[in-house]
Structure 1
């Protein structure tokens, strides 16, 4: 029973003049949902007579159902696919398996009651069965990829690893070997590409490859990347797919910042902007390790000790560990359980971003012109770190070794933070200059005639033609 499916049905029925009814289907994880919702908001702002039905599980509706959104975006929900504790990454493999095998049927039932009838589907690439739904209903499907174009390209050409004797492989023995045979990807250490495709993650890799096998049956591919940042990878994908490939980044809430909407804050510490206002320009390191996978408590303690010893000011979003870490960190920084990340990164006192290298966070850091200290944990984060450090040269690695269990000591953290925040260093000045250049590229891309704005407008024209099918 879809208890919330009719949540916005009255307003949906009241919109007969819409030129297009788009059903958005994100993978039920924080980063995926945020990315697709931001994209939908950008789309809705450009074409107010597009109606978007944003489909989430009942649990996620509880999390985001009261969030502000445009009038032409409505929520609909399906039952939770698995017990809620799995959403917390208790067993990521089982959760992904449930998403792949249990979401399709309730979404099919939901589509049967939507009014007006859907005219296009935008689905997360993990929800590859959406292609079959679209085919059965004669509805075009756009597959949405919320990670880097480089990561997409690596998975698209995964068969080349086997052809070159690199899969399966002992990463501990061959991880430092360079891979230069993936089209559109610069020479990269094998460990940066395959660290998350071995051992216990092998089942996830096979499921992702299955999802990619369906891509050629879709009608569009949406990449949350900027053409100027990953042009070689994007050009490869455009040449290989028989349908439009659109780079539509940044899929971040920049409209909210531009419109000066009210600042949200957490009741337990509402004064972090006042604290930032009191800090010198470019003097604060912002730290966030993401919303899903975490480093160990031991690593948190090393981070805290290193930051405290560096003498550099910092704002640390530590979620559930915030209370404990406040005691460990001393009075040089501020530790909070949550913050409005894009607003924080755009604050003049922020001089660096120590990050787990999630793709949404990277987009926000580039948009705000903030250089990075990279601390990848798993999956695409490892390759994202390589993009930042080696390809774009707008950051440094804190964590050189790949793996969740590799502990970075406090003295190493202290040293690199001090060096990174030395604004008089020639090396640091060069890095910050490149960071500023990428920020300008990013902001030009969303302006009229920019690469992202042009691609989004072209996609809107495409899906508007689907109306009245």
Structure 2
């Protein structure tokens, strides 16, 4: 029994959105391969959506297949405070109020029940957007690891919210519009490239209240790990590391960049392989706006007409709720008849399988961070159409810093003419060649980081060492207290 108690046991709790669950799952697998016991916690709602989309899941456990290969990953679900049938997408603010006020009580109860499992839980790995990790970690004497699933640039802007406020770039009556050049580790950034919540005029929404609390709480974490690459954001990571241990351990992909054996998709996936096999190398534009963000009917209509004008082949992932859960009729009349065999529209697909297909030559994306990393890995240049939150800041990295993509829209409103023009620039010609040359360089950076002696692998090993050292230190303190105080109660 004593030997098993030396094994680190992390309880991992992703934010209940698909873009957060995916890197958490891949990190859980990576840690389990390094000898960790993992208890992975999804909300009941997320688990219900995954199970509904993928009926082949064994029983109530998305990690059943992973355990067959010897990985010690346990699985739990927890309520988020709302009934399963509640439409979280349509009622975003009510959902977020529950995450802010109710969810922590459910997590506390779950951790209390599982903390003394065998081996005992010694580490909490929680999404940085949660407001409660320091409280739970302190209560149960756990190493507090904050997992940031987006680029370090976004983390540091939230981290230094006080500076942005002090200088009048955020939450003032009339926000300044000049260049921001005072954030540690960030050379310069324009206000238009801040995350949507930092550009908003109403700064008292539920999401703002979550951001204020979460980014004070992260400052109490023992360790921060980021799904990014040190060489891509070296100054930003270094500046954060000076404040508290911060490690770039990305990109966190499934082994071999193939479809994961762990189900994470919340929609039933269409298989596009047969259709793609009929198309020539690099001739297909892939379009997807992610799992959660919404856009307007006007934008969908302009993109659809731009696709018609461009003449390119395309796969377009159109979630039924892309405009809203109530409005599902948003394509122009006759659009699907006009595209004939050069276009394929699906409600969802396995993105890794699609963008790694040789027929894919470009990606029109909402600029979710997972999508950007996957595109870089597949040498697929991007057209950027950010919709909310970090996506505007991610676009800056893609278009301005790394020069691996184009803006979809340079003006206030999308037009079909500009959509067609940008698609043609992306898919062929001089601009296309330049983008492809640059993305190969960035891809090489990712590849090097993931080598045995690469920065991400070294940082990952250092992170594990820090976790184990902190566990030992805490154990030593707890043992000393037990020896010296009959009234001390170790929970």
Give the TM-score category using the shorter length: 0.7 to 0.9
The one of 328, 337, 344 equivalent to 2:335 is 328
Q: Deviations over 1:291-339 (max 9, x none)?
A: 1111112211111110111011111111217997595141221111111
Q: Does 1:365 align with 2:375?
A: yes
Match of 2:42 in 1: 56
Q: Does 1:413 align with 2:399?
A: no
**Hey, what's the Cα distance between the residues in 2 that align with 1:140 and 1:245?**
14
Q: After the TM superposition, which segments of 4 or more aligned residues of structure 1 sit over 6 Å from their partners?
A: 258-262, 264-268, 321-324
Q: Deviations over 1:400-430 (max 9, x none)?
A: 35xxxx54111110111112211x31x3212
**Offset at residue 289 of structure 1 (A):** 0.4
**Hey, what's the Cα distance between the residues in 2 that align with 1:254 and 1:133?**
31
Give the conservation status (yes or no) of the 8 Å contact 2:270–2:350. Answer: no
Q: Cα distance 1:80–1:254, how it changes in 2: closer, same or farther (>3 A)?
A: same
Q: Cα distance 1:186–1:25, how it changes in 2: closer, same or farther (>3 A)?
A: same
**Offset at residue 183 of structure 1 (A):** 2.0
**Hey, what's the Cα distance between the residues in 2 that align with 1:206 and 1:266?**
30
Give the match's secondary structure for 2:197. Answer: coil
Match of 1:185 in 2: 186
Match of 2:161 in 1: 158
Extract unaligned runs of 5+ from structure 2.
52-56, 323-327, 476-491
Which 10-residue stretch deviates more, 142-151 or 33-42?
33-42
**Hey, what's the Cα distance between the residues in 2 that align with 1:441 and 1:33?**
25
Match of 1:216 in 2: 219
Match of 1:8 in 2: none
Give the conservation status (yes or no) of the 8 Å contact 2:297–2:330. Answer: no
Match of 1:292 in 2: 292
**Offset at residue 170 of structure 1 (A):** 6.4
Q: Cα distance 1:165–1:268, how it changes in 2: closer, same or farther (>3 A)?
A: closer
Q: Cα distance 1:420–1:211, how it changes in 2: closer, same or farther (>3 A)?
A: same
Which 10-residue stretch deviates more, 429-438 or 326-335?
326-335
**Hey, what's the Cα distance between the residues in 1 that align with 2:87 and 2:185?**
34
Q: Deviations over 1:385-407 (max 9, x none)?
A: 01100011110000335xxxx54
**Hey, what's the Cα distance between the residues in 1 that align with 2:95 and 2:88?**
9
Aligned residues: 442
Q: Does 1:41 align with 2:12?
A: no
**Hey, what's the Cα distance between the residues in 1 that align with 2:267 and 2:90?**
26
**Offset at residue 163 of structure 1 (A):** 2.5
**Hey, what's the Cα distance between the residues in 1 that align with 2:106 and 2:260?**
37
Q: Does 1:437 align with 2:441?
A: yes
**Offset at residue 223 of structure 1 (A):** 0.9
**Hey, what's the Cα distance between the residues in 2 that align with 1:258 and 1:64?**
15
Give the match's secondary structure for 1:178. Answer: coil
Give the match's secondary structure for 1:70. Answer: helix
Give the conservation status (yes or no) of the 8 Å contact 2:195–2:390. Answer: no
**Hey, what's the Cα distance between the residues in 1 that align with 2:73 and 2:173?**
47
**Hey, what's the Cα distance between the residues in 2 that align with 1:170 and 1:251?**
40
Q: Cα distance 1:201–1:409, how it changes in 2: closer, same or farther (>3 A)?
A: farther
**Hey, what's the Cα distance between the residues in 2 that align with 1:383 and 1:170?**
23
Alignment of 1:22-41 (within 5 A): 22-41=10-29
**Offset at residue 169 of structure 1 (A):** 4.4
Q: Cα distance 1:340–1:133, how it changes in 2: closer, same or farther (>3 A)?
A: same
Give the alignment's Cα RMSD to 1 decimal.
2.8
Match of 1:315 in 2: 315
Alignment of 1:64-463 (within 5 A): 64=50, 66=57, 67=62, 70-71=66-67, 72-84=72-84, 88-114=88-114, 115-116=117-118, 117-169=120-172, 175=177, 177-193=178-194, 195-197=196-198, 198-200=200-202, 202-203=204-205, 204-241=207-244, 244-255=245-256, 257=258, 269-270=270-271, 272-320=272-320, 325=331, 328-329=335-336, 330-331=339-340, 332-401=342-411, 407-422=413-428, 424-425=429-430, 427-463=431-467
Give the conservation status (yes or no) of the 8 Å contact 1:301–1:328. Answer: no
Give the match's secondary structure for 2:247. Answer: strand
Q: Cα distance 1:124–1:182, how it changes in 2: closer, same or farther (>3 A)?
A: same
Q: Cα distance 1:269–1:150, how it changes in 2: closer, same or farther (>3 A)?
A: closer
**Hey, what's the Cα distance between the residues in 2 that align with 1:413 and 1:235?**
38
The TM-score with structure 1 as length reference comes to 0.87
Give the match's secondary structure for 2:80. Answer: coil
Q: Cα distance 1:212–1:419, how it changes in 2: closer, same or farther (>3 A)?
A: same
**Hey, what's the Cα distance between the residues in 1 that align with 2:266 and 2:144?**
37
**Hey, what's the Cα distance between the residues in 2 that align with 1:57 and 1:205?**
22
